[in-house]
Each structure stands twice: as structure tokens, then as C-alpha cells.
Structure 1
Amino acid sequence: MSITWYDGIVVGVDGSAESLAALAWAARAADLHEARLTVVATYGVPITQDPGIGGLIGEMRDHAYRAAEAARTWLAEHRPGEQDVEVVVMSGDAAYELSRRSRTCGLVVVGRRGLGKFDRMVLGSTSSALAATAPGAVAVVPAGAAPGDPRRIRVGVDRDDEPDVLGAAFAEAAARDCALEVLHVTDNDAISAALPEMDPVAASWREAAKADLADRVARWSEKYPQVACTIVMRRGDPASVLRYGLTPDDLVVVGGRRHQPLIGRMLRSVPDALLRSAPCPVVVVHAHHDAHR
């Protein structure tokens, strides 16, 4: 994955207000990182051989073309100039097609509709399915996220995260000229979670974790000296700690590993929980280990 997205940004649109918000976020990211922007609108093709299905397919195709045209209109009004943009209308499942494109682009962006408590817990969506299965980085922009650049970027890091997680956060903070908060939840490992708060062994373990994190952060700070960065250590449930205090004006960056959408929802992975409840955009940077490809 390119942590500066130079190999392109793809955004999925369906004509909804949420997808136009995702388009605006993606266009801003493409401008900041001088990346090619591709807008994709999809329509499903049912497998059934029912003779009346042709009309339904035509309606879905027309809807996709209207969504693509709405995206062109928005870009013409809000992003004038000679920026490199491609608009594509294609048949297929949105999550699958966007996931496939994430193999060859730097970032895929989608919107997220507001969901009720029950929906967040059990229902699937294009955004959650895409974030769970895409091999590349995914940004999910929820309904109600503030337009424009964030006031703060919060990146959740673990001791075994790949460098791209911190790198992506630093690159975004530098491009968007905002503060960066590096957050590590100490109880995210078995040893720390099993020890009492005041136990000297626990204190030693957490100090070692903080020193290791400070060293990793220092290396990125040398590359991005303009980024104001703070390191925060917290105990607790990782998803709850990462979500605490977030506003629509923030941006969250987390690491992820590919898995099937149903497994991710059942196990309540940290990225999945954030995608369903964070009030701000969330960027999931996937680790590219062979075991997860």
C-alpha cells in the first residue's frame, strides 16, 4: 500500500447524500496527495432467469448512471480545474467490485449511512463488507461527518502493527496540517491485561511498551517534522478507548487484517466496531501478510 495514495483513490457512489459526502472527502484527499481519482457506480445483476427481471436490471442500471452523473455534476461545481478523474459505471456487487479495485489503487472510499443500534450490531453493509475483505486501505465516511480537513487525527497502534499504519497517519496529518494523536491501549495484550494497575511488573511492561512506541513514533517524526504529535497510553477495551471523545471533526486511522465480513461482525473486531459507530471518517490500513491474502 502507498501511504501517500499516489497510486490512485477510488470512491464508490450510489446517488445518496452519504456517497456524495464520501466523494467530497475522496476528492479532497486526491487533491492533497496529487492522486488520480476514480468514481465508481455499480448496479446488481440478479441471477434469476425470471422473464420480468430485465426491466429491474434496466432500472438499476439507470440509477447507477444517474449516480455517476450526479458525481460528475458535483465535481464540476466543487472541484474545477484539470484534475485527473475517471467515472465508471459497471455491473456487479458494490463491495466486491470496490474490493477488487483496491488491489491496484492506494485507497478506496465509501460512505456510511446512519444506522440504529440493532442495525450496527447485526446487519451488513457495503462499507463493513469492503473494510473486512479489501486487500488495500479503505476509508469510510459516515453520515454527519464534518466537511473539510479534520482538527485532529487519532491513530490506534499495537505493538505488532506494520509501519504503514503510523506512516499513513503521519502522511495524512502532514497533508491536512492537523495534530496527530498516537493512541496505544495497553490492555490489548494478554500480559498487560492480566496484571493489576499498580503491579510493578505491569508498570514495567507498560513502560517498555511506551518506550517501544516512542521509538517508532520518533522515526516518523523525523520524516514529518511539521506534524505536532502526542503519544497517549490508555487501559480498557481498544474499540471503546479509540472511540472515546471522537467528534465529526476528527479522523481515525487503524490497522486491519482481512477476514470474512460475518467473522468480523461476530468477533467484533476493533475496525468493525469503529466503522459502525465512529462519528468521523475511519481509515482502515490493512496488513498485507501472505496468510491474509
Structure 2
Amino acid sequence: MTRPVLAAVDASVRSRAAAHWAAQEAARRGAPLRLLHAWPYLGRKVNDLVKMDELETGAQTMMGDIAQELAAAYPGVAVSSELVPDSAIDGLTAAAEQGQLLVIGTRGLGGFRGLLVGSVSLGVAGRSKTPVVLVREGGPAAVSAEPEVTVGFDAMEPSDAVMEFAFEEAQLRGARVRVVHGWELPPTYGYAGWIPVESERQELGALAVGMVADAVAPWREKYPRTLVLEDVRTGGGAAALVEASAQSDLVVVGRRTRTLNIGPKLGSVAHAVIHHAQAPVAVVPHD
């Protein structure tokens, strides 16, 4: 049985944008779509003044309206819905394990002046064992003339899970893959105000290009029909990915699944890209 694509929904505009993105993704994957609405008070009695059955009926009606809208727009996709009686972060994180990926809407305008991402989106993306796609308010990014999936690549610690997700997405879309690696001069190069000569900068840049080429070679071989662009830039990974997102249909970043004392969290690059990218962002957990 094919696992569903999941979409978190509520009554917001950003939620509907995410639901439509998820429906398109389900159509590409030949998978069903399941709508999720999480709220901790579903099925519980709070007090005599609050009629929980009416609130639950309202939630069901809201989900039914969205499901009907999606079924009409994407007739080949089987749409179902599920109420999750738990807090948004805990409920959606747990429910995500049932699906191929979870899609959540975010609000904001993109760019470095700020995509304001809510705590629920960040919380789920930082904890989910399943890939989470964050779609910004206003709908999916406009499809470029040549479809492109951008993936953040760490040449020092490459992740097969992140690359696999990016290449599979590109194959589903008939898109090319842009492998972005941002590098910076070692901190010691600025010690005591010393600045390396241009020849050393070029040597370090060539080294970064070579490392990326060697690491990407097996993926070129595995996906011979997919055009791969190796994009090595100075200035760090986050800035490079945000800049590249302007011409991308999807940006893919990784998140390590190891936990810290304060619990799972997003790395600095993933956090920055989620906040500032101009395209939907897929956060892929990996070891």
C-alpha cells in the first residue's frame, strides 16, 4: 500500500497553499493525500461553556471543504482527512511517520528581509523523522522556465538521504538538480588582520570544486538522465542556498537526527534557509 503525502491544514491562506502543493506532490508520486488537523482539545471536555462537539464539527467541516476543493482540482488524487487530538507539534510529528512526507504552510515574503516562520513549522521540521516541506504563504513558487531542484551539499559531511530525496524529486518533476556548496575561508586566515593572496583563494576554491565533483559523481551515474549543475560559491552555505532559491522550484536541506540536551533542533544553515528562501523548502532528516 502506498503511503500518503500528508498536509497540515487549518483555516489559514498559507494552509490552503500547502494543501495544494501537497496535492500536486501526491499526483506526481501516484500517492493518496491525507489532510491533518491537530488540536489538543479535540474529544475532550474543557468546561460547560465550551461545546467541544460543535468545535469538532467545525473542524470536520473545514477539512471537508478543503478536501472537496482539492478533489475537484486534482481528480486523480484520493483525498482523506484525519483529526489529530494532540498539540500541533507533537501531533503532527507523530502523524508524519505514517506518510512519505509532511507539508506545512508558513507565512512571510521570503528574502533576507524575512520569511516569518511559525513555531509549529520550525518545531515539526526540527523533530520529524519524515521529510517536512515548508510552503510559504502566497502559494508555491512560480515554476521556472526550466524546472530545478536545489540541494544544499556539505562536501565534508555529505548525506545520502538528502541527495536521494533531491534527485528523486527532480526525477518526478523532470527537473535538473543544482548542487550548492558554500565555502568560506578558514577563520585563521583573518587572524591578526592577515589576508591570503588571490592565488591561495583560487587554490582553496579549486579544492572545494574538486571535492564537490568527486562526491556528486556517483549521483550522476545513478541518475544519468538528470542534468546536474555543480554550484560552488563563497560566502557560506546558507547565503548560497537562499540566493539560488530565487530560480528553484524546491530547495532541499538536511537536518541531523541526533538530539541535543534541549531536544532535536535545526542546524544554522537549515534554519536560515527555512526563514529566507523564496521557494518551498524540504527538510530531510539524516544520521
TM surpasses 0.5: yes
Match in the other structure for 1:138: 132
Closer/same/farther in 2, CA of residues 280 and 52 from structure 1, 3 Å limit: farther
Q: Distance in 2 between matches of 1:198 and 1:119?
A: 35
Q: Distance in 1 between matches of 2:45 and 2:139?
A: 41
Quote the offset at 1:240 in angstroms.
Answer: 2.1
Matches within 5 A, 1:156-195: 156-158=152-154, 159-187=156-184, 192-195=186-189
Say which is worse superposed, 273-282 or 108-117, in terms of deviation: 108-117
Contact 2:14 2:139 in 1 (8 A): no
Q: Distance in 2 between matches of 1:229 and 1:243?
A: 19
Match in the other structure for 1:222: 221
Contact 1:144 1:248 in 2 (8 A): no
Letter in 1 for 2:33: L
Quote the offset at 1:131 in angstroms.
Answer: 0.7
Closer/same/farther in 2, CA of residues 248 and 280 from structure 1, 3 Å limit: farther
Q: Distance in 1 between matches of 2:26 and 2:61?
A: 23
Match in the other structure for 1:107: 101
TM-score (norm 1): 0.80
- Tell me the SS of whatever aligns to 2:181: strand
1:129 equivalent in alignment to 2:123: yes
Number of residue pairs aligned between Structure 1 and Structure 2: 275
Match in the other structure for 2:282: 283
Match in the other structure for 1:25: 21
Q: Distance in 1 between matches of 2:248 and 2:159?
A: 26
Letter in 2 for 1:101: A
Match in the other structure for 1:76: 71
Q: Distance in 1 between matches of 2:109 and 2:142?
A: 23
Quick one: percent identity of the two aligned structures?
28
Q: Structure 1, residues 127-154: CA drift from partner, whole Å, max 9, x if none?
A: 1111111122110000124367553221
- What are structure 1's unaligned runs of at least 5 residues? 1-5
Closer/same/farther in 2, CA of residues 254 and 147 from structure 1, 3 Å limit: closer
Match in the other structure for 1:3: none
Q: Distance in 2 between matches of 1:202 and 1:148?
A: 36
Letter in 1 for 2:161: D
Q: Distance in 1 between matches of 2:58 and 2:119?
A: 19
- What are structure 2's unaligned runs of at least 5 residues? 190-194
Quote the offset at 1:64 in angstroms.
Answer: 2.1
Quote the offset at 1:206 in angstroms.
Answer: 4.2
Q: Structure 1, residues 201-232: CA drift from partner, whole Å, max 9, x if none?
A: 66555434332321232211222222221111
Contact 1:15 1:70 in 2 (8 A): no
- Tell me the SS of whatever aligns to 1:244: helix
Quote the offset at 1:248 in angstroms.
Answer: 7.8
Q: Distance in 1 between matches of 2:114 and 2:179?
A: 30
1:65 equivalent in alignment to 2:64: no
Quote the offset at 1:234 in angstroms.
Answer: 1.2
- Tell me the SS of whatever aligns to 2:246: coil
Q: Structure 1, residues 46-72: CA drift from partner, whole Å, max 9, x if none?
A: 9x98634633x4454234213311221
Contact 2:182 2:238 in 1 (8 A): no
Q: Distance in 2 between matches of 1:24 and 1:36?
A: 13
Contact 2:93 2:127 in 1 (8 A): yes
Closer/same/farther in 2, CA of residues 115 and 72 from structure 1, 3 Å limit: same
Say which is worse superposed, 199-208 or 125-134, in terms of deviation: 199-208
Q: Distance in 2 between matches of 1:269 and 1:212?
A: 22
Closer/same/farther in 2, CA of residues 175 and 45 from structure 1, 3 Å limit: same
Closer/same/farther in 2, CA of residues 79 and 120 from structure 1, 3 Å limit: closer
- Tell me the SS of whatever aligns to 1:246: helix
- Tell me the SS of whatever aligns to 2:279: coil
Closer/same/farther in 2, CA of residues 194 and 24 from structure 1, 3 Å limit: farther
Contact 2:88 2:120 in 1 (8 A): yes
Letter in 1 for 2:57: D
